[in-house]
Amino acid sequence: MDFDLTRFENDARLLAEIKSIETAENIQVLVPFAKAYLGMFYVIDNELPEKEKLKLLANETLANALLKGFVNCIFSPELPGIEEIGQKKAKQQEIPQGYAVLAGMDLISKKSSKDIGELADNIIESAIGFYLSNKNSHKNIWFDVLFKTRKETVTTALCKYWVEMLKNKSSYLPAINYILAEKPDETITQYCILPLLENWSYCKEKTLFKLLSSAFKYSAPADLLLLCEKILQKDELLTEKTRLYWIATAYLISPEKYFAKLSDYVGRVKLKIMPLLDFITQLMKSDDVNISFSDKLVAQILRLIAPIFPPQFHVYGALGGLDINSKNVMLMFYFLACSEDKNILNEIKLLQKARTMKIYSSVLDNLIEIQTLKNNDPDFNLPHFDTYLKNLVNNNKLQGRSNKFDLR
């Protein structure tokens, strides 16, 4: 690229419009230069300072006017709101003005982090919308500053942006890892989790699994239950598995109200019971969910699930492997073994009376033995789960049917 010729042509064409460039009235002129500033032109060395990139394309007078224009673009009364930016992104429509805004935010942050932190909420929200929508490789240090100093505003902006995208049926949400990562951001997740669940109509099964698991940790159970009921009233967009997760969520919060519905829905269909087992045991293994697992609830779930996974010696370790479904079933039995409730024996005896639980009669007998020892022997220590399982195998208490139920 002949930079001398390009600079000469730009100067000749734009110096007469210097005023409208400085005031950001001429947005169309600002956009290509903003892209150059942000390092989006491969013909310009990305290692150059941002202002030097502009000086390859314009003389010093025009370059300075462009820099002022970038900053003034932020304060334009015509600055799009974050809802509009999210809507456009969902429809894969770009707002070119966003590049000038990003350049302006970069300039302000380089001048003063304090000035960035004092910007109005609507400006910050729009800038974050463009940060998510108008992709570039530039290091937007201003976002990191705001993330630390204006976390509440950033969180609100992310939620508005995501919800608007979901309302417009977007299948991809930029920066959603703040919520879906292995260690999500707690502030953002707590604020956004229920709005996301309410509006993510076409949520994939794995994603819904994660969102609902987070909701048990970061939302109030009463609020989550209201949302479950709202979703289940208009569930035409749900798949078989996502409907299962919503029903199971409602059940875990309100067992008495929703057990019959859950039981009727899963029946004895293994393809429904397997994801139910995964979902519930993951929550049981979490230490910080806003629900309590009572002995009665676990016993109810065992009556639904355990008969579908009969104990099998080879599954439980004779060939060196414990499949995940069998292990999760036994985790529920172990939960009852750990119970300190004085009425636990009643729940175990009710399980023994259930015809479908006969295949686990030896395991249930062992539970009574453990609870009796706990009550009568002050020196008794309940073994760790792996040892508990090994003891059952060694004592031939997991040798049941050798066949598996077929998938239906």
Closest CA to 17 of 5, 38, 33, 39: 33
Residue 315 has pLDDT above 80, yes or no: no
- The mean pLDDT of the chain is 91
Q: Identify the pLDDT of residue 369.
A: 95
First-last CA distance in the chain: 65
Label residue 395 by pLDDT band (50, 70, 90): confident
Q: Which tens digits make up the pLDDT trace of 36-56?
A: 999 998 888 888 999 999 999
Label residue 1 by pLDDT band (50, 70, 90): low
Concatenated DSSP letters for 328-365? HHHHHHHHHHH---TTHHHHHHHHHH-GGGGGGHHHHH
d(Cα 113, Cα 142) in Å, to the nearest integer? 7
Label residue 408 by pLDDT band (50, 70, 90): very low
Q: Which tens digits make up the pLDDT trace of 201-211?
A: 889 999 999 99
Residue 341 has pLDDT above 80, yes or no: yes
Q: Identify the pLDDT of residue 197.
A: 97
Residue 398 has pLDDT above 80, yes or no: no
State the average pLDDT over residues 169-192: 95
Q: Which of 106-115, 223-232, 315-324, 392-401 has the highest mean pLDDT?
A: 223-232
State the average pLDDT over residues 17-27: 94
Residue 347 has pLDDT above 70, yes or no: yes
d(Cα 356, Cα 140) in Å, to the nearest integer? 61
Residue 391 has pLDDT above 60, yes or no: yes
Window from 148-157, 172-181, 220-229, 316-325 with minimum mean pLDDT: 316-325
> Percentage of the chain with pLDDT > 90?
78
Q: Which tens digits make up the pLDDT trace of 217-270?
A: 999 999 999 999 999 998 888 999 999 999 999 999 999 999 999 999 999 899
d(Cα 258, Cα 255) in Å, to the nearest integer? 5
With a CB cutoff of 8 Å and minimum separation 6, the contacts of 349 are: 368
Q: Which amino acid is at 331?
A: L
State the average pLDDT over residues 117-137: 95
Q: Which tens digits make up the pLDDT trace of 265-299?
A: 999 899 999 999 999 999 999 888 888 899 999 99
Q: Identify the pLDDT of residue 322.
A: 57
Whether the CB-CB separation of 62 and 18 falls below 8 Å is answered with yes
Label residue 320 by pLDDT band (50, 70, 90): very low
Q: Identify the pLDDT of residue 403.
A: 42
Residue 335 has pLDDT above 80, yes or no: yes
Q: Identify the pLDDT of residue 352.
A: 95
Q: Identify the pLDDT of residue 272.
A: 94
Closest CA to 126 of 166, 171, 75: 75
* Spacing of C-alpha 133 from chain mean position: 19
Whether the CB-CB separation of 199 and 213 falls below 8 Å is answered with no
For residue 137, CA distances in Å to 47, 328, 374 come to: 12, 45, 62
